Amino acid sequence: MKTELLAPRPDAIEKAAGILRAGGLVAIPTETVYGLAANALDGAAVRAIFAAKGRPQDNPLISHIASMDMLGMVTGSVPPQAQRLAEAFWPGPLTMVLPRGAAVAREVCAGLETAAVRMPSHPVAQAVIRAAGVPLAAPSANLSGSPSPTTAADVLADMEGKIPLILDGGACSVGVESTVISLAGAQPVLLRPGYITKEQLEDAMGCAVALSDAVLHKLKDGESAASPGMKYKHYAPKADVTILKGSFDAYKEYMKSHCADGVYALCFTGEEPALPCPCVTYGRADKPDEQAHALFSALRELDARGAKTVFARCPAQEGVAMAVYNRLLRAAAFRVVEV
Ligand code: TXA
Ligand code: MG
């Protein structure tokens, strides 16, 4: 199959909508990362997403809507807390897990009785959903396990020959996937940190949000994840990544004694001159927004440059930085060394 890359002009949006209505796949930009979209009401179309990504069948997908009218196609009852979060953060990078609705394809929910839904703010994503007229199931448009794509070129690298169309909306502004919160149980639980922080969610709902264990810790063998996506090794470049936790001075000393062929520093912007080995940066040390925006492209750049061993500076763990740390932990297969 030939993969077309088109600027998101009105005729390209119409073409995308036509492919989606006919059960095909289209990669679309969102404010977080690029998504690999299919009609969320069409089980066969959704199965094609899993095949193109090589995604495990038990990992459910997020359905994307363009207006509150579409919510009922994806979810069943909508509790008042969900209404509050929708008012505060939609359209935007927040996904809610709610009791599932009857219309959404079984494959989207991977056998669960819940469905994940979000209303993206990216104008191209919104235009495609509206033109298609149905909710779009869309995981990140990468091969399962590799870093999520934040540019159309990243999508092409993973999906060329597998899908007919990529809409090129430029670089994604946020750069990490949406915050996922479950409102399906007795207490709200943060399943995946993102640009909307735990504190913001608590403020908007006026109650505490629990943090799922899987966010910052490796699941033990046999332990089940509230969010199935959190159990897989994820976002990983080909190189072995280790996070070094400690001061910049300690990091520098460690790098001096570990510098060798194929060893790279994944450091904060501005730290390069003090380091003895090749560096890839991912934003300034005190700017978690920049780190979120840059992390996935930095991981892809390490692959492009042939890195074999990577030592990463450790981000903070609160606010937006929690999302950065959560992704980096998975890229490093939870290898963290205190220096
Ligand atoms: O920002 C985003 O959310 C991007 C863009 C394209 O919108 N999408 C994305 O999708 O990151 P994906 O499939 O890569 O991640 C979806 C996450 C997974 O961790 C999955 O396990 C979780 O959401 N999830 C989906 N449905 C769920 C459910 N019913 N219960 C618990 N977790 C669910
Ligand atoms: Mg993903």
Above 90 in pLDDT, residue 168?
Answer: yes
pLDDT averaged over every residue in the chain = 95
Confidence band, pLDDT 50/70/90 cuts, at residue 232? low
Banded pLDDT at 229 (limits 50, 70, 90): low
Structure confidence by residue, pLDDT tens digits, 19-40: 999 999 999 999 999 999 999 9
Rg (C-alpha) for the chain, rounded Å, is 20
Percent share of the chain, pLDDT over 70:
97
In this model, does residue 225 exceed pLDDT 90? no
CA nearest to 329, candidates 304, 295, 297: 295
Q: Give, using CA atoms, the residue closest to atom 17 of ligand 1.
A: 229
- Tell me the CA–centroid distance for residue 264 and ligand 1, in Å: 31
Question: Residue whose CA is closest, atom 33 of ligand 1?
Answer: 227
228 pLDDT higher than 80: no
Best substitution site from 30, 61, 151, 230 to test ligand 1's pocket, by max atoms within 8 Å of Cβ? 61
Report CA(70)–ligand 1 centroid distance (Å).
18
Q: How far away, in angstroms, is 139 Cα from ligand 2 center?
A: 5
Can you tell me the mean pLDDT for 84-109? 98
CA of 249 to the centre of ligand 2 (A): 34
Residue 51: pLDDT over 60: yes
pLDDT for 175-212, tens place per residue? Answer: 999 999 999 999 999 999 999 999 999 999 999 999 99
Q: Is the pLDDT of residue 95 over 60?
A: yes
Q: Quote the CA–CA distance of 139 and 122 in Å, as a whole number.
A: 15
Identify the CA nearest to 96 among candidates 70, 77, 116, 80. Answer: 116
Q: Provide long-range contacts, Cβ within 8 A and 24+ apart, for 130-134.
A: 130/66, 130/67, 131/13, 131/14, 131/16, 131/17, 132/16, 132/17, 132/20, 132/21, 132/39, 133/17, 133/21, 134/20, 134/21, 134/39, 134/40, 134/41, 134/42, 134/70, 134/73
Q: Would you give the DSSP letter of residue 191?
A: E
Residue list, ligand 1 pocket, CB within 6 Å = 30, 32-33, 35, 59-62, 93, 95, 97, 109, 112, 114-116, 120, 138-140, 177-178, 180, 191-192, 227-230
d(CA 12, CA 320): 34
Q: Is the pLDDT of residue 293 over 90?
A: yes
- pLDDT for res 233: 63
DSSP string for residues in 303-321: HHTT-SEEEEEPP-SSTHH
pLDDT over threshold 80, residue 224: no
